[in-house]
Amino acid sequence: MNPRLSLNQATIKHADLATALSLTAEAGITSIGLWREPVAEVGLGRAATMVSDSGLRVSSLCRGGFFTASDPAERARALDQNRRAIDEIATLAEAGAPGSAPVLVLVAGGLPAGDRDLASARARAAEAVGDLAADAAGAGVVLAVEPMHPIYAADRGVVSTLREALDLVCDLPAKVAGVVVDTFHVWWDPTLPAQISRAGAEGRIASYQVGDWITPFPGDALLSRGLMGDGHVDFASITRLVLDAGYTGDVEVEIFNQELWDADPAQVVARVVKAFDETVAGQL
């Protein structure tokens, strides 16, 4: 078992927190990426105890963000939600085994309904990260901006490229704001090698997530990710770029895929371990 493998909880979406923690540990995986919803189901205090008891590291919390609203009240609510998420990951990373990462993954959010001004939505996302920086610094949390595949630019994540994410955080301290490199989202980018190097040089790689791009494209854009090896992503090359850029953290497997979600989660975990071993672990 590669010690840097982390199972992102979304890969076994229908497992509750207790199940996700025990399946991960039983498989010999030593790290987990958590999601806010299953944590909220048991409450933060109880979740922290469960994480502590599991002996697992926490590699990130998904997810904050969704702060592109132009309506002030809606924007204030989004910032408030993000402040709670900052507290949550601070607590959970503290409860996790040594080597846990207080990383909050941020998905920018899409265009407000009827709004076609992408540049302004992007500017609001940047402003929101700035507004959260003091809270993150106070809690010792890293805000990790995740560039999302351009397929999501309209309705989910207006930050589309690694370059854009790096530009967005460049005025904030690297201890407070970084980026997520997720192969599914960035594999196609012709400037990827240069931007991963830049991200490393600027100390910004807060999280490295892996998932494959599969074809034909599944019907639901949200569930279009595949296990590593099932698609077109060159994991060896991208993983090498990330390592060469100095990333020393856990590598999260995060896959939204209906077939995986419908399968027995213990079997999914086993498949994740095997796929990771065949595509990523050799580089680590």
Rounded CA-CA distance 16/200 in Å is: 34
Of 147 and 249, CB closest to its own copies: 147
Residue ranges in contact with its own copies by CB under 8 A? 111, 116-119, 122, 149-151, 153-155, 160-161, 163-164, 187-190, 213, 215-217, 219-221, 231-234
Least separation, in Å, of the C-beta of 213 and its own copies?
6
From the CB of 166, what's the least distance to its own copies, in Å? 12
Nearer to its own copies, 96 or 226 (CB): 226
Nearer to its own copies, 59 or 68 (CB): 68
- Of 35 and 213, the one with the shorter C-beta distance to its own copies is 213
In the complex with its own copies, the residue whose CB is nearer, 24 or 224, is 224
CB of 119 to its own copies, least distance (A): 8
From CA 224, how far away is CA 181, in angstroms rounded? Answer: 18
Terminal-residue alpha carbon distance, the chain = 12
- B/e letters for 62-99, b = 16+ CB within 10 Å, e = fewer, are bbbbbbbbeeeeebeebbeebbebbbbbbbbbebbeeb
Nearer to its own copies, 33 or 211 (CB): 211
Shortest Å distance, C-beta 152 to its own copies: 9
Q: To 10 degrees, the CA torsion angle through 159, 163, 168, 171?
A: 170
CB of 182 to its own copies, least distance (A): 14
